[in-house]
Chains A and B, each alone.
Chain A
Amino acid sequence: MSLLAVEDLRVHLFTRRGVVRGVDGVTFSVETGKSLGIVGESGCGKTMTALALMRLIPAPPARIVGGSIRFDGLDVVAMDAARLRALRGGDIAMIYQDPMTSLNPVFTVGEQIAEAVRLHRRDSRSAAWLRATEMLRVVGIPDPHRIAGAYPHQLSGGMRQRVVIGMALACDPKLLIADEPTTALDVTIQAQILDLLRRLQGEFGTAIILITHDLGVIADLVDDVVVMYAGKVVEHAPVRRLFADPQHPYTRGLLRSVPSLQTREHRLRTIEGTVPSPFAMPTGCSFNPRCALVRDICREQEPKLLPAGDATRAACWALI
């Protein structure tokens, strides 16, 4: 049994301008100790998907209108408030792009980690404090006893992100959801944090869902990749296979439009056009107005996510 199984998840936003299908039939699973990347451009529904996994979507306007989320055998969609509280920060932890938004500016970082520990484990104050300093050491913070007494504003962006990761892992979660964890960081600090996440995944055996727009970060860290476009999964593949032999025209376009560090091309490749407005989604395949392989059927019927070669699934009529 998978640790997490998401099946045909649908999250709609009910706005004054109409209904937006933010997440429109998303299916994937994560095995214990494995890592999954969810990649896509702004507005593709990747963050909405991640928030839905812990029922953190802003409701209203958003609502889970269909599908199922099973975590460790439990039905998250039907879960009551008390069980959800235990789940959030307990078995599933989440880190966000901007560490300042997840840290309280008026408490020391040690107090904040200890608070999370006490909420979930009923440890004594002193045991929780010990655990907090231990976690700061684990995430590579020098002089953890001193830093435990520091306030967030006294730390650099990279140090804050380490604190947040330490807090997330303090209760030994089975799943860590990381939403753009390195996007706000400089590239030399990003490299440190990616190394840290990789090391901790090995040490703690935590499963990771990494959400990012950065294909370089995806290539660096995860085992499997889900590519999202306009609320749907267009391709799901093991990471090496995705980069070596992408199947869906959108995935191919995305990979080709990343400028290379190794060679200078005369012109960068692009995907023509723009992501469709959520209020004016094309019929059939959402990618059809930008697709070079478009046929009549693409404008009429939505393609299903079907096997497309070795361990890959893709949603494209041209592959059938």
Chain B
Amino acid sequence: MSAGTSRAPLLSVRGLVKKFPTSGGGAVKAVDGVSFDLAAGETLALVGESGCGKSTTGRMLLRLTEPTTGTIHFDGIDLLGLGRRALRQRRRELQIVFQDPYSSLSPRLRVEDIIAEPLDVHGLCRTQAARRDRVVELLRLVGLDAMHLRRHPFEFSGGQRQRIAIARALAPGPRLIVADEPVSALDVSIQSQVVNLMQDLQARFGVAYVFISHDLAVVRHIAHRVAVMYLGRLVEVCDTDALFDAPHHPYSQALLSAAPVPDPERRVCRIVLQGDVPSPANVPGGCHFHPRCPIAQPVCRETVPPLREVGHGRSAACHFAAPLPISIS
């Protein structure tokens, strides 16, 4: 399932930190020491609730947000050491799809020019005819066709716009696409069409995805591995099936059990966490999760649990990480 973890990873992230300055002269650690690897052709999902740092992490992978510290190696190259020109060239292989297909496409451009923009930036088409042919090919790949070339974004539904955004990301032939909540704004019947499309494109072109989402059911279907984030830190990383079968971190367990299940027979078997997610500007000491954790002990208030290997390719950041098969099935 997970594409060959023994090979050198396509993407290798170590100790990634992002601090944003606050008005009071302090700093908010939006991302606090995130490390993971991603193999070519693999999908890693970053899941967590608002403010956990998943989007900031995704943006840092393309240097749309500059990391404060840490390293990102893409295909063995130190991305953070690249100058402007070299970075721009490298971005041909690194693309992004955003959540809102209403704001991520320029309303004044025609579909042809939207999709051709990365081709123009990287000088990938020598003639107008070649450019047109490539755009039509991309439109067909995402389930649209040549008849849509001259239209503007407002003439399309949300699902179709997201297909256009995917075609644009695909245009320069990337090896990694960061997809930040790509189906969250879509209705369910359309959401599944776009998930299927992304899987088809991966099978065909071997592109790797960092799939950022809060929707665990979608993640279960698209991801090979899942990284669960809470307040800027990874709390559990493992194969998708292993996570859903037996989450080890108490936060993963609560997150899985809180997800509403479309089955009225199973109403009252959830772990309902007390309290709110603390503000990233004022995080608790020790384990960030301890004030809401049902199994917290005194040590959790004092000591940050490191993300450690707990067997079978699974890492968890909890002093008491243990399998707890929650009753979701």
Given A191-B272, A220-B260; A261-B188 close (CB under 8 Å):
no
Question: B259 touches which one: A213, A261, A271 (CB < 8 A)?
Answer: A261
Tell me the complex Cα distance, A225–B258, Å.
22
In the bound complex, residues from chain B placing their C-beta under 8 Å from that of A257 are 188-189, 191-192
Binding-face segment, B89-97, B173-181, B214-222: B214-222
Closest chain A residue, CB of each to CB of B254: A188
B240 within 8 A of A: yes
Main secondary structure of the interface of B (DSSP, over half): helix
Contact across chains for A219 and B262 when beta carbons are under 8 A apart: yes
Contact across chains for A258 and B262 when beta carbons are under 8 A apart: yes
Binding-face segment, A22-30, A103-111, A168-176, A262-270: A262-270
In the bound complex, residues from chain A placing their C-beta under 8 Å from that of B256 are 261
Question: B261 touches which one: A190, A219, A267 (CB < 8 A)?
Answer: A219
Within 8 A of B (CB), among A205-237: 213-220
Contact across chains for A264 and B240 when beta carbons are under 8 A apart: yes
In the bound complex, residues from chain B placing their C-beta under 8 Å from that of A240 are 264-265
Given A213-B188, A270-B196; A255-B260 close (CB under 8 Å):
no
Contact across chains for B264 and A214 when beta carbons are under 8 A apart: no
Given A41-B189, A191-B270; A274-B159 close (CB under 8 Å):
yes
Question: B260 touches which one: A41, A216, A275 (CB < 8 A)?
Answer: A216
Closest chain B residue, CB of each to CB of A217: B260
Per-residue interface assignment for chain A, residues 162 to 189, with 1 indicating a CB less than 8 Å from any chain B CB and 0 otherwise: 0000000000000000000000001111
In the bound complex, residues from chain A placing their C-beta under 8 Å from that of B218 are 259
Within 8 A of A (CB), among B175-215: 187-193, 195-196, 199, 214
Contact across chains for A261 and B190 when beta carbons are under 8 A apart: no
Per-residue interface assignment for chain B, residues 227 to 260, with 1 indicating a CB less than 8 Å from any chain A CB and 0 otherwise: 0000000000000110010000000001110111
Question: A261 touches which one: B159, B217, B265 (CB < 8 A)?
Answer: B217
Contact across chains for B216 and A274 when beta carbons are under 8 A apart: no
Contact across chains for A219 and B255 when beta carbons are under 8 A apart: no
Contact across chains for A261 and B187 when beta carbons are under 8 A apart: no
Tell me the complex Cα distance, A225–B328, Å.
23
Contact across chains for B190 and A264 when beta carbons are under 8 A apart: no
A243 within 8 A of B: yes
Contact across chains for B189 and A187 when beta carbons are under 8 A apart: no
Contact across chains for B189 and A271 when beta carbons are under 8 A apart: yes
Tell me the complex Cα distance, A189–B189, Å.
25
Contact across chains for A190 and B188 when beta carbons are under 8 A apart: no
Question: A274 touches which one: B190, B195, B254 (CB < 8 A)?
Answer: B190
Question: A42 touches which one: B187, B259, B261 (CB < 8 A)?
Answer: B187
Contact across chains for B196 and A267 when beta carbons are under 8 A apart: yes
Closest chain B residue, CB of each to CB of A220: B260
Contact across chains for B258 and A188 when beta carbons are under 8 A apart: yes
Per-residue interface assignment for chain B, residues 47 to 89, with 1 indicating a CB less than 8 Å from any chain A CB and 0 otherwise: 0011000000000000000000000000000000000000000
Number of interface residues of A (CB under 8 A): 43
Question: A264 touches which one: B189, B241, B276 (CB < 8 A)?
Answer: B241
Contact across chains for A262 and B329 when beta carbons are under 8 A apart: yes
Tell me the complex Cα distance, A187–B50, Å.
10
Contact across chains for B188 and A215 when beta carbons are under 8 A apart: yes
Contact across chains for A189 and B187 when beta carbons are under 8 A apart: no
A254 within 8 A of B: yes
Within 8 A of A (CB), among B149-183: 157-160
Within 8 A of B (CB), among A269-319: 269-271, 274-275
Contact across chains for B263 and A219 when beta carbons are under 8 A apart: yes
In the bound complex, residues from chain B placing their C-beta under 8 Å from that of A254 are 188-189
A144 within 8 A of B: no
Contact across chains for A187 and B255 when beta carbons are under 8 A apart: yes
B141 within 8 A of A: no
Closest chain A residue, CB of each to CB of B216: A261
Contact across chains for B261 and A261 when beta carbons are under 8 A apart: yes
Q: Which of the listed residues A188, A253, A257 has the most CB atoms from chain B within 10 Å of its own CB?
A: A188
Contact across chains for A274 and B276 when beta carbons are under 8 A apart: no
A195 within 8 A of B: yes
19 A–B contacts, CB within 8 A, in A order:
A41-B188, A186-B49, A189-B277, A213-B188, A216-B259, A218-B262, A220-B260, A240-B265, A253-B189, A255-B262, A257-B189, A257-B191, A261-B216, A261-B217, A262-B328, A264-B240, A265-B221, A270-B196, A274-B159
* 16 extra interface residue pairs, beta carbon distance < 8 Å, beyond A191-B273, A216-B262, A261-B216: A41-B189, A41-B190, A156-B277, A186-B214, A188-B258, A188-B273, A191-B258, A195-B272, A215-B188, A258-B188, A260-B217, A261-B259, A264-B220, A269-B192, A270-B190, A275-B157
> 9 closest A-B pairs (Cβ-Cβ)?
A216-B260, A268-B192, A186-B49, A41-B187, A271-B189, A191-B258, A259-B217, A215-B262, A257-B192
